[in-house]
Amino acid sequence: MIIERIKEDLSIALKQKKEPNISVLRMVISAVLNKEIERRGTSEDPKLNDEELEAVIFSEIKKRRDSVESFEKGGRADLVAKEKAEIDILMGYMPEEMTEEEIRKIVKEIIKNHKDVGSVMKEVVPKTKGRADGSLVAKIVKEELS
């Protein structure tokens, strides 16, 4: 499971005093625990499976990408570098990202049955979730439909 690998990597990072890794991995573990606590009141099993863990990690990546954008606008190159380093660490726990070509192939296949953005996105998103950026998927869908 991914969470065991993260905990093991955190232990190694602590021993080697690798600061960016320590803070990022602690943050991910904290986000996972928060998600599990959130689910305790429901009928679902509070433990997250790998797919749900990937969703939490992807959420953390997305937060950092948004931060990078903001810091670039603000001219904070030091913080941009820090956020990009954290993204690289987190990407190590995600499945390989889909290429634009792979996304286009999926979109073209789905467009055969649907002609509006909403219904195409409804089918494309589950197939690309965690492996492709949503804004890139939306852009490709719009391009292919026009």
Exposed/middle/buried for residue 89 (C-beta within 10 Å: 0-12, 13-18, 19+): buried
Q: Among 68, 67, 69, 60, which Cα is nearest to 90's? A: 60
Domains of the chain: 2-91 (1.10.1510.10), 100-145 (1.10.10)
Give per-residue pLDDT as tens, 38-80: 888 777 778 888 888 988 998 899 899 999 999 999 999 999 9
pTM of the prediction? Answer: 0.75
- pLDDT tens digits, 4-23: 999 999 999 999 999 889 99
Residue 15's pLDDT is what?
A: 95
**In terms of pLDDT, which residue wins out, 86 or 126?**
86
CA 81, 27, 59, 95 torsion: positive or negative? positive
